[in-house]
Amino acid sequence: MKTVAQTKRVLGVALMLLMIPLTGVRAEFPEKPLRAIVPFEPGGANDIMARVTAPQLGKVLGQSVIVENRPGAGGNIGAGAVAKAPPDGYTLLFTAGGATQNPALYRNLAYDPINDFTPAAVLGYGPHIFVVNPKLDFKSIKDLVEYARKNPGKLNAAAGGATTRLESEMFQLQNHVKVEIIPYSGTGRASTAVLSGEADFVIMDTSPVISLIKAGKLRGIAIIGDERHPALPDVPTAREQGHADFLGGITFGAYANARTPRDILVKLNTALNKTMLTPEMKEWFDKVGAKPVNMSLEDARSWYLKEIATWKDIVAKAKIPLLD
């Protein structure tokens, strides 16, 4: 009888446990595909980086990574979509300078860059390039400066995002010239504007325009970086042309909702850093003249906050009008 009673008690406890909802249990991450939001048009460096990274990251995580373009407002529409997504690690923002520069450039954002975002990983760094239409007689930064000084406001600079806008502003300030900066929804459209003659020049990432420069459809006149680009060895650096103080380049990052659980962020950071070191990514980095970056979660967060503060300081000192 004692054994029967004990058995009944055990069964009773088991039934009670089965009736308790498993609300505190979280499935192993990731258990479904991830979304990589690119806040710019297809064809630009942000888009290319995401589409090169996605399949390799998918292999590392064991889940597919789907790239989705959400362009507009200088990258803020895509960023806002990620900020409003569930903080579960399944929606990432793949972008470059806009993440740290838009907080300095825009008066009002639909998200809080400090409390809504954190970098899951800093992925890589690539140089920028001055690009002009080959029909124009500009073969150096000096040519642009001389024309701009003789013709204030007549030189049109295409800007495909926060970084290219700030670099165009820097070009004006450092050379004491006035150019008309025309905003576009991505560097792909900005380069197309130069290609068609709608704009005179653009300062942008190298990867989307290498083939166009080699085909003679665009002309590269200066690399913004420490060394010449391996795919464009005939294009001198800005430093070689006497513009050593001109800052530029593109730092790619993958950003998550800042409220994402730490264990998921750690897993994403580990997977993304591992992805950047795969042979496929190394081949791509070498091809476009970029370099992978490997940072811990803590170092990436510190870098992110420092970059935001740096750009806010530059915008304030340069008295760059804020955008709405």
* pLDDT at site 313: 87
Check residue 93 and give its pLDDT. 98
- For residues 121 and 132, membership in a common domain is answered with no
The answer to whether the Cα torsion of 135, 137, 139, 145 is positive or negative is negative
Final residue before a domain boundary, out of 180, 212, 241? 241
pLDDT at 25: 46
Spatial contact of 78 and 37, defined as CB atoms under 8 Å apart: yes
138 lies in some domain = yes
Alpha carbons 265 and 120: distance in angstroms, whole number:
6
Q: Are 281 and 254 in contact (CB under 8 A)?
A: no
Specify whether 212 is located in the same domain as 257. Answer: no
Contact 320, 172 (CB under 8 A): no
What are the DSSP E strand ranges found in the chain? 34-38, 65-69, 91-95, 117-126, 128-132, 156-159, 180-183, 201-205, 219-224, 250-257, 291-292
Q: How far apart are CA 180 and CA 324, in angstroms?
A: 18
Q: Name the one residue in this structure whose structure tokens are 């913004």.
A: 224
Domain match, 183 and 133 both: yes
**Consecutive 10-residue runs of the chain (324 residues): their mean pLDDT?**
53 48 64 96 89 97 98 91 96 93 92 96 94 96 97 95 87 93 90 96 92 97 91 95 88 96 98 97 88 96 94 86 85
Choosing from 216, 241, 266, the residue where a domain stops is 241
Distance of CA 104 to the CA centre of its chain: 16
Domain boundary among 241, 272, 291: 241
* Domain carrying residue 151: 128-241
Q: What pTM, to 2 d.p., does this model score?
A: 0.78
d(CA 150, CA 14): 86
- Which residue from 216, 219, 220 is spatially nearest to 237, judged by alpha carbons? 220
Residues contacting 57, CB < 8 A, separation 6+ = 34, 65, 271, 272, 275
204 within domain boundaries:
yes
Q: What pLDDT score does 8 carry?
A: 52
What is the C-alpha separation between 39 and 205, in angstroms, rounded? 16
